[in-house]
Amino acid sequence: MLRAELESGMIVELVQDCTCGLHQGPHWLHMNEIDRNLNQRLLSNGGRHATYAFAQAEVERLKQLEVEMQRRQIIRVIRSDEAPASRRAEGGGE
């Protein structure tokens, strides 16, 4: 299950908003994961150029992620295996 913490402090469930059937949660977040995985493949080529290409691609991915999260007033995505913020602060999530 995917949840998100909103700017208001509320925790909400992120529901699937498409008919893909290939993932849980919203499509924009699924596409972000695909882009992240593709960007990481750039590093497999090794060398300075690969690192630079990876960095450029990650900047674009993170800009788009920020736009999507701001549009929805999300400050944090919470995965089902992640401890709530209160438990992390107490050391219970690590």
The residue among 12 and 45 whose pLDDT is bigger is 12
- List, edge to edge, every strand of the sheet that includes 2-6: 11-13, 2-6, 74-79
Rounded to two decimals, the pTM is: 0.78
The answer to whether residue 65 is domain-embedded is: yes
Enclosing domain of residue 69: 2-89
CA distance 12 to 76: 11
Confidence (pLDDT) at 87? 47
Give domain status of residue 67, yes or no: yes
Q: For residue 94, tell me if it sits in a domain.
A: no
Count how many domains the chain has: 1
* % of the chain surpassing 90 pLDDT: 71
- Could you count the other beta carbons within 10 Å of the beta carbon of residue 41? 11
Is 37 inside any structural domain? yes
